[in-house]
C-alpha cells in the first residue's frame, strides 16, 4: 500500500519504518525540516534500537517531506501521528491534531476515497467529534463516502519501539464504518497479532485504559515497596511472589523512583480531565499521579536523612526516563535535579544517551563523560535509570567519592558488586 504518515516523531517514524519493512511504500511528512532532512539521509532523529538499520534497508520505500499535501496525494492511507501534549491544566492539547486534520482534509479535496487513521493518542470522542468535522469541512467530503476514518492507537514503548510496532500484543482498529475498518485490517494482515475491531470511541478508550492500568500498577507497587522497606522485606521478592499470579503478572511490578516518559502522566491526566467533563470523579487515578510525584521527592528525603544538601556535589547516574532511550520527557531526573538545585546542591550528571536532551532543560549543571567521572569527588550519588552499564558497576567505581552515600531508584546496582548502598524501596 502507499501510506503517508503525518508527524515523524517516535510513533510516526517507527510506524513508518515498520510499515516500510512490511513492504509498503511510506512517505513521512513533518513540519520540522531538520527531522525530514535527517530521515532522508538515513539518519534517525531519535535513538531507537534497529531504526537506523530499518531506514537503511528501506531507502527505496521510505521517504520524507515537509509537504503534507504532496505526501497525502502520493498515498491511499494517511496516519495522523502528531503529538497530543498536556495543556497547563492537564487536559489534552489537540492543536496539532486539528492542524494535521485540516491539512489532510485540504489535500483530499477533489480526490477519490482515501483512508485517514488517527494514531495519535486522543481522548475518547476526539476522532468523531473533532477530527471528522474538520476533515469533512476542509475536504468538502462526507466521512464514509468521500473518505474513510479509523482510529488505531499505538502501544509501542520507547527503547523497543520498532520491535513493539512490528509485534504488538494486539492491534486495535476503531472504525467509523466497516469499509474503513476492512481497509485498515488489510494493511495489518501480515502482522501476527490479535486484532480488536470496534467503534472509534471504544478504541480511544482502550488506549487510555491501558496506560491508566500500567501507571496504576507502578504506583501501587511503589507504595508496597515503600512499606516493604520499612518492614525490612525485599520488595523484589514480593514482586516475584505476586507476579506468578496469572491474574496480576510480573510485568510492571518494578518498584522504584516511579514512571516518567511522554505518555503515562500526560494520558492519565487527560483521562481524568475527560472524566470530569462527563461528571465522573477519578480518586484512584488522581492518587496514581500524586503518588508518582511523591516518589521523586522520597529519594531526596532519603538523601537528606544522610547529609545536608547545601553546597554538596551530588552525582546523578541516569537522566533518561528509562533505559534504552535518550528521551527525558517527564523523566524523574528532571524533578530530582530541580529539587537538588533548590536545596543549594551542585549536580554532576551522567547518562549514556540522554545528556543532550537534558542539557536543553538544565544547561548549567555539570555533565560527565563517564559514570565514574560523575561519581568522583561527589558527596552522594543517585541512580535514576536502569542502564545496563550500571548493573556491572562495582565498589571500585565509587572509590573516588568524598563519602560513600549511594541511593538508587531502579534496583539496578548488584549487591554482590557494590556494598553499602540504599534503595528507594529496598
Ligand atoms: P513526537 O513529539 O515525538 O512527534 C510528533 C511529531 O509531529 C513531531 O515531529 C512534530 O514536529 C510533528 N508535527 C506537529 N504538528 C504537525 C503537523 N501539523 N503536521 C506535521 N507534523 C506535525 O510525539 P510522539 O512521541 O511520536 O507521540 C505522537 C502521538 O503518539 C502522541 O499522541 C502520543 O501520546 C502517542 N504515543 C506516543 C508513544 C511514545 O512512546 N512516544 C507511544 C504511543 C502513543
Ligand atoms: C508507555 C507504555 O508502556 C506504552 O504502551 C505506550 O505506548 C507509551 O507509554 P514508555 O513510556 O515508552 O511506554 O515506557 P514504559 O516501558 O511503559 O515505562 C514507562 C515508565 O515506567 C518508565 O519511567 C519506567 O522506568 C517506569 N516503570 C516501568 C517502572 O517504574 N516500573 C516498572 O515496573 C515498569
CATH assignment of 234-426? Answer: 3.40.50.720
Exposure string over 56-72, b if 16+ CB within 10 A, otherwise e: eebeebbbbbbebeebb
Dihedral (Cα; 35, 38, 39, 44), 10-degree rounding: -90
Matching residue, cell 520505500? 61
Percent of the chain with pLDDT over 70: 100
Closest C-alpha to 100, from 146, 64, 136, 131: 131
For residue 34, the tally of other CB atoms under 10 A from its CB is 9
Query: In the chain, what are the domain boundaries?
Result: 2-193, 234-426
Q: How far away, in angstroms, is 177 Cα from ligand 1 center?
A: 26
Position 122 scores a pLDDT of: 98
Architecture of domain 2-193: 3-Layer(aba) Sandwich (3.40)
Strands (E), 54-120: 62-65, 77-80, 114-118
Largest CA distance in the chain: 71
Question: Do 424 and 409 contact (CB within 8 A), yes or no?
Answer: yes
Calculate the alpha carbon distances from 95 to 92, 136, 238, 242, 260 in Å: 9, 17, 44, 42, 23
Read off the pLDDT of each residue in 304-311 and give the average, rounded to a whole number. Answer: 97
Percent of the chain with pLDDT over 90: 100
| Cβ 253 under 6 angstroms from ligand 2 | yes
218 pLDDT band, cuts 50/70/90, is very high
Question: Do 368 and 374 contact (CB within 8 A), yes or no?
Answer: yes
Closest C-alpha to 393, from 410, 334, 258: 410
Q: Which of 228, 263, 381, 425 is catalytic?
A: 263
Q: Does 81 participate in catalysis according to the annotation?
A: no
Predicted confidence (pLDDT) per residue in 199-215, tens digit? 999 999 999 999 999 99
244 pLDDT band, cuts 50/70/90, is very high
Predicted confidence (pLDDT) per residue in 319-377, tens digit? 999 999 999 999 999 999 999 999 999 999 999 999 999 999 999 999 999 999 999 99
- CA dist 325 and 309 (Å) reads 29
The protein residue whose alpha carbon is closest to atom 25 in ligand 1 is: 10
Index of the ligand 1 atom closest to the CA of residue 119: 30
196 pLDDT band, cuts 50/70/90, is very high
Whether the pLDDT of residue 312 is over 90: the answer is yes
Inter-axis angle of helices 200-231 and 235-243, to 10 degrees? Answer: 140
Do the domains 234-426 and 2-193 match in fold?
yes
Predicted confidence (pLDDT) per residue in 105-137, tens digit? 999 999 999 999 999 999 999 999 999 999 999
Q: Which ligand is nearest to the CA of 222?
A: 2
Q: How far away, in angstroms, is 64 Cα from ligand 1 center?
A: 15
Closest C-alpha to 350, from 365, 330, 338: 365
Calculate the alpha carbon distances from 397 to 198, 391, 393, 404, 420 in Å: 54, 12, 6, 11, 13
Average pLDDT along the chain: 97
Position 183 scores a pLDDT of: 98
Q: Which ligand is nearest to the CA of 328?
A: 2
For residue 269, the tally of other CB atoms under 10 A from its CB is 20
Whether the pLDDT of residue 47 is over 90: the answer is no
Task: Report residue 139 as a C-alpha cell.
Answer: 475536504
Task: Report residue 213 as a C-alpha cell.
Answer: 492500568
Task: Report residue 168 as a C-alpha cell.
Answer: 504488538
Predicted confidence (pLDDT) per residue in 261-305, tens digit? 999 999 999 999 999 999 999 999 999 999 999 999 999 999 999
Q: What are phi and psi of 317, to 5 degrees?
A: -105, 110
For residue 419, the tally of other CB atoms under 10 A from its CB is 12
Position 235 scores a pLDDT of: 97
Position 119 scores a pLDDT of: 98
Closest C-alpha to 261, from 198, 331, 310, 214: 331
Amino acid at each position: 500500500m502507499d501510506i503517508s504518515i503525518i508527524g515523524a516523531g517516535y510513533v510516526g517514524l517507527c510506524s513508518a519504518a515498520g510499515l516500510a519493512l512490511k513492504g509498503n511504500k511510506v512517505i513521512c511528512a513533518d513540519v520540522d525540516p531538520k527531522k525530514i532532512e535527517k530521515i532522508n539521509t538515513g539518519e534517525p532523529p531519535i535513538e531507537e534500537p534497529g531504526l537506523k538499520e530499518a531506514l537503511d534497508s528501506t531507502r527505496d520505500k521510505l521517504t520524507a517531506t515537509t509537504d503534507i499535501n504532496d505526501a497525502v496525494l502520493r498515498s491511499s492511507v494517511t496516519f495522523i501521528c502528531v503529538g497530543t501534549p498536556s495543556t497547563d491544566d492537564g487536559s489534552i492539547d489537540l492543536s496539532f491534531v486539528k492542524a494535521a486534520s485540516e491539512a489532510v482534509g485540504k489535500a483530499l479535496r477533489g480526490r477519490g476515497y482515501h483512508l485517514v487513521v488517527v494514531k495519535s493518542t486522543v481522548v475518547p470522542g476526539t476522532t468523531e467529534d473533532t477530527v471528522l468535522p474538520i476533515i469533512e469541512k476542509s475536504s468538502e467530503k462526507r466521512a464514509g463516502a468521500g473518505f474513510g476514518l479509523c482510529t488505531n492507537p499505538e502501544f509501542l514503548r520507547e527503547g523497543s519501539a520498532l520491535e513493539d510496532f512490528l509485534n504488538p500484543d494486539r492491534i486495535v482498529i476503531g472504525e467509523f464504518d466497516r469499509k474503513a475498518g476492512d481497509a485498515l485490517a488489510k494493511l495489518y494482515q501480515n502482522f501476527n497479532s490479535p486484532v480488536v475491531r470496534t467503534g472509534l470511541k471504544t478504541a480511544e478508550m482502550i488506549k487510555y485504559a491501558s496506560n491508566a492500568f500500567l501507571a496504576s500498577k507502578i504506583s501501587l507497587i511503589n507504595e508496597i515497596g515503600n512499606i516493604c522497606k520499612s518492614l525490612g522485606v525485599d520488595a523484589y521478592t514480593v514482586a516475584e511472589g505476586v507476579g506468578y499470579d496469572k491474574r496480576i503478572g510480573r510485568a510492571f511490578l518494578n518498584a522504584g523512583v516511579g514512571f516518567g516518559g511522554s505518555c503515562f502522566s500526560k494520558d492519565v491526566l487527560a483521562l481524568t480531565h475527560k472524566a470530569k467533563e462527563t461528571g465522573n470523579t477519578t480518586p484512584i487515578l488522581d492518587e496514581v499521579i500524586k503518588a508518582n510525584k511523591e516518589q521523586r521527592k522520597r529519594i531526596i528525603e532519603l538523601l537528606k536523612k544522610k547529609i545536608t544538601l547545601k553546597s554538596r556535589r551530588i552525582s546523578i547516574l541516569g537522566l533518561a526516563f528509562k533505559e534504552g532511550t535518550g528521551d527525558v520527557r517527564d523523566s524523574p531526573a528532571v524533578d530530582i535535579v530541580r529539587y537538588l538545585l533548590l536545596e543549594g546542591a551542585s549536580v554532576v550528571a551522567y547518562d549514556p544517551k540522554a545528556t543532550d536532551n537534558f542539557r536543553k532543560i538544565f544547561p548549567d549543571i555539570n555533565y560527565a563523560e563517564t559514570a565514574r567521572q560523575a561519581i568522583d569527588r561527589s558527596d552522594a550519588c543517585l541512580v535514576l535509570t536502569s542502564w545496563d552499564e550500571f548493573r556491572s558497576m562495582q565498589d571500585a567505581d565509587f572509590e573516588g567519592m568524598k563519602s560513600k552515600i549511594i541511593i538508587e531508584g531502579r534496583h539496578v546496582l548488584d549487591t554482590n558488586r557494590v556494598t553499602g548502598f540504599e534503595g528507594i524501596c529496598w
